[in-house]
Chain A
Amino acid sequence: MMRVPLWYETRLAIEFLREGRSQSLLIILGVALGVAVIVFVLALISGLQDNLVERTLGTQAHIKLRAPDEVVRELRPIDTLAVASQRRNERAQRLRSVQNWQAIAEALEDYPQITAVSPVVTGPAFARRGEAFKSVAILGVDPARYAQIVPVPERMVSGVFRPTATEIVIGVVLADELGVGVGDRVRLEGTDARAGTFQVAGVFRLGVRDLDERFVFLPIRPAQTLLDLPGGITNIDLTIDDIFAAEGLARELDLRYGVTAESWMETSEQLLNALRSQSESTTVIQSFVGISVAFGIASVLAVSVVQRRREIGILRAMGSTSNQVMAVFLIQGGLVGLIGSAFGSSAGLGMVHLFTTLGPRPTEEALFDITAGAGLVLGATLLATLTGIVSAHFPARRAALLDPVAAIRDG
């Protein structure tokens, strides 16, 4: 017969757990509750974070490269005392192109962590339709490339996201305010009285009022003409695979290409703080639940060691080594963690399901989607099993060090 590693110790552990049924059930229930809380809270927080990230970063680039700000240059030697007492007027920033943007955009395509690169020319303009006159932001884009940065095609209310030399795509709020729809004409007035009349090809709703009110999409060339920036682009928008690596990459691009790179982490600091706070509170909850579970397992096993003193002595007398005795209790801890986490994960998933189906719903859509993936369940199971083994260490060691003579004599 094949030797199964730790067969003897596992058999003893299972029989001991089975014999102390009510005690075992109680501690398994404790572990299950802990794991259920961890699975549910983690799923909830990660759902919330995904939702926040999607809503916020779903309408903006992860990194924006733009031309560096123009600064006032001192023409005389700096007298530090004099400078400190002087008031300096910062220079007004005009619309400028990123130097050598074609080469930079091409080079950025080779970065494995960058998932989309989209040159954008953007600047202020006015949209006019009859008596209505609105301040807007023109975005000259390559629609296919820009759709990889912000999925505008998925957010179309009517028409299509296909701006051409004579057609534009506008936000739903702007469309309402101008009283236009697909097929209607809008006049755009850009820099230095450069103007053009365009037909509305589509209306989008990004879900952010400011964007839905101001964004007007054109192809790059007409936008360059309206903004008097021939051949130039004002931004290179990027998305990356790991959003939390944005700041590091932005600093790297800053130095390498001599541009100003702004990550979402810089421009959406509040979002970042919110995400960090949520992650930290999750860790705190997890730690407390984990510690409670560990203490629960350790105390039950410690009692079990006391109750089984005589049996431990007998096992030692029959040739079991102290390591074998220790393994019996470590395995018990691991089994309690494993079984408890199996029940707990199921309960946690059930709670997730209940929350998504019966939870708060201000609209027909769920408040936000929460899903507990296999990774989360596997992670929680692994963590609970490890916690079981680690917390069993102290009672297991105590069992292993028992003097067999005293254990048999005193029970």
Chain B
Amino acid sequence: MAEPMDVAQPADTGEPVLRLERVRKCYNVGTPIEVEVLHGIDLEVGPGEFVALVGPSGSGKSTLLNILGLLDRPTDGEVWIAGHATRQLGDVARSRLRGQVLGFVFQFHHLLTAFTALDNIQLPRWAAMGREDDEVRARALELLDAVGMKAFAQRRPKELSGGQQQRVAICRALIHRPPVVLADEPTGNLDTETSAQAFSLLRRFNREFGCAFIIVTHDPKLAEGCDRVIEMVDGHIVQDRAGHAPRLE
């Protein structure tokens, strides 16, 4: 594997922030129980797009998201993220790229319970920089302020409600202003009202920061609130259409 590449800045090539070329993913390769869960996916996501990825369970949404997030490798095909071809990258380069051009929001928030809300938000930058930084801290506080949680900066996740934790998780995903944010059912564990609040927060940051969002969801209403809806069935993209939300220029 090629090891580290300079990913200090995402390549600014004017290309789509995400591009998949004939991506296949198989499990148990070479065994009688080989299963192909993604069948040659081609996909492009432009800067600032707000995309919903929908489909029934087992359609390959999460697998695709993991491949996009460089948490998993495709069996075949190439994944381009912010202009970088990722197939040949080794662990260090993938980790760096992940930490600098991707943001993650998970269904169960997944905050580190040993750290305060403020520290949780700074963690991706700490990992990349290897040190504390005043600017990062100030930005984390700004984000907390933006989601109405500045007063909770020193609280630990156990002292926060589910909705509050999800807001912190969203701030964490945006601390480094990544060109792409991947969200795996970000509202799946929230009640209707909190879910709506979290979604509008994602939408707001998408508009303010211009990050592309790819949101895996089972919620049709939420999907229709996106600019673009991609539907997957059995490892194929069966539909790629505009959502009902007005697209922003």
- The residue that B130 contacts in the complex, of A8, A18, A314, A318, with Cβ under 8 A, is A8
- The residue that B110 contacts in the complex, of A5, A310, A405, with Cβ under 8 A, is A310
- How far apart are the CA atoms of A1 and B132 in the complex, in Å? 8
- How far apart are the CA atoms of A313 and B69 in the complex, in Å? 12
Q: Is A71 an interface residue (CB 8 A)?
A: no
B106-139 CB mask vs A (1 if < 8 Å, else 0) is 1000101111000000011011111111100000
Q: Is A4 an interface residue (CB 8 A)?
A: yes
Q: Is B100 an interface residue (CB 8 A)?
A: yes
In the complex, the answer to whether B95 meets A320 with C-beta atoms within 8 Å is yes
Question: Contacts of B115 on A, CB cut-off 8 Å?
Answer: 15
- How far apart are the CA atoms of A408 and B62 in the complex, in Å? 12
- How far apart are the CA atoms of A230 and B128 in the complex, in Å? 87
- Among residues 315 to 361 in chain A, which have CB atoms less than 8 Å away from a CB atom of chain B? 315-324
- How far apart are the CA atoms of A253 and B171 in the complex, in Å? 79
Q: Is A111 an interface residue (CB 8 A)?
A: no
In the complex, the answer to whether B131 meets A311 with C-beta atoms within 8 Å is no
- How far apart are the CA atoms of A1 and B110 in the complex, in Å? 29
In the complex, the answer to whether A405 meets B130 with C-beta atoms within 8 Å is no
In the complex, the answer to whether A319 meets B131 with C-beta atoms within 8 Å is no
In the complex, the answer to whether B131 meets A7 with C-beta atoms within 8 Å is yes
- The residue that B127 contacts in the complex, of A5, A318, A322, A405, with Cβ under 8 A, is A318
- Among residues 52 to 96 in chain B, which have CB atoms less than 8 Å away from a CB atom of chain A? 66, 69, 71-72, 91-92, 95-96
B26-64 CB mask vs A (1 if < 8 Å, else 0) is 000000000000000000000000000000000000000
Given contacts A3-B131, A404-B71, contact A319 B98 (CB under 8 A): yes
Question: Contacts of A15 on B, CB cut-off 8 Å?
Answer: 112, 114-115
In the complex, the answer to whether B71 meets A318 with C-beta atoms within 8 Å is no
- The residue that B172 contacts in the complex, of A6, A7, A318, with Cβ under 8 A, is A318
Q: Is A16 an interface residue (CB 8 A)?
A: yes
In the complex, the answer to whether A408 meets B99 with C-beta atoms within 8 Å is no
Q: Is A2 an interface residue (CB 8 A)?
A: yes
In the complex, the answer to whether A319 meets B124 with C-beta atoms within 8 Å is yes
Q: Is B205 an interface residue (CB 8 A)?
A: no
**Number of B residues, CB within 8 Å of A:** 30
Q: How far is the CB of B70 from chain A (nearest CB, A)?
A: 9
In the complex, the answer to whether A319 meets B99 with C-beta atoms within 8 Å is yes
Q: How far is the CB of A238 from chain B (nearest CB, A)?
A: 59
Question: Contacts of B134 on A, CB cut-off 8 Å?
Answer: 1
In the complex, the answer to whether B113 meets A322 with C-beta atoms within 8 Å is no
- How far apart are the CA atoms of A2 and B132 in the complex, in Å? 9
Q: Is B104 an interface residue (CB 8 A)?
A: yes
Q: Which partner residue on chain B sits nearest A16 by CB separation?
A: B114
- How far apart are the CA atoms of A99 and B132 in the complex, in Å? 77
Question: Contacts of A324 on B, CB cut-off 8 Å?
Answer: 95, 127
Q: Is A11 an interface residue (CB 8 A)?
A: yes
Question: Contacts of B71 on A, CB cut-off 8 Å?
Answer: 316-317, 404-405, 408
- How far apart are the CA atoms of A15 and B111 in the complex, in Å? 14
In the complex, the answer to whether B92 meets A318 with C-beta atoms within 8 Å is no
Q: How far is the CB of B130 from chain A (nearest CB, A)?
A: 5
- How far apart are the CA atoms of A19 and B98 in the complex, in Å? 27
Question: Contacts of A315 on B, CB cut-off 8 Å?
Answer: 112, 123, 127
Given contacts A3-B131, A317-B71, A405-B66, contact A18 B114 (CB under 8 A): yes
In the complex, the answer to whether B133 meets A319 with C-beta atoms within 8 Å is no
- How far apart are the CA atoms of A70 and B98 in the complex, in Å? 87
- How far apart are the CA atoms of A114 and B134 in the complex, in Å? 63
Q: How far is the CB of A33 from chain B (nearest CB, A)?
A: 27
Question: Contacts of A3 on B, CB cut-off 8 Å?
Answer: 129-131
- How far apart are the CA atoms of A19 and B115 in the complex, in Å? 9
- How far apart are the CA atoms of A16 and B123 in the complex, in Å? 14
Question: Contacts of A408 on B, CB cut-off 8 Å?
Answer: 71, 106, 110
In the complex, the answer to whether B98 meets A2 with C-beta atoms within 8 Å is no
- How far apart are the CA atoms of A25 and B110 in the complex, in Å? 26
Question: Contacts of A18 on B, CB cut-off 8 Å?
Answer: 114
Question: Contacts of B133 on A, CB cut-off 8 Å?
Answer: 1
A residues apposed to B, CB below 8 Å: 1-8, 11, 15-16, 18-19, 310-311, 313-324, 404-405, 408
B residues apposed to A, CB below 8 Å: 66, 69, 71-72, 91-92, 95-96, 98-100, 104, 106, 110, 112-115, 123-124, 126-134, 172
9 pairs from A and B in contact (CB 8 Å cutoff): A1-B134, A6-B130, A8-B126, A19-B114, A314-B112, A317-B71, A318-B104, A319-B95, A321-B95
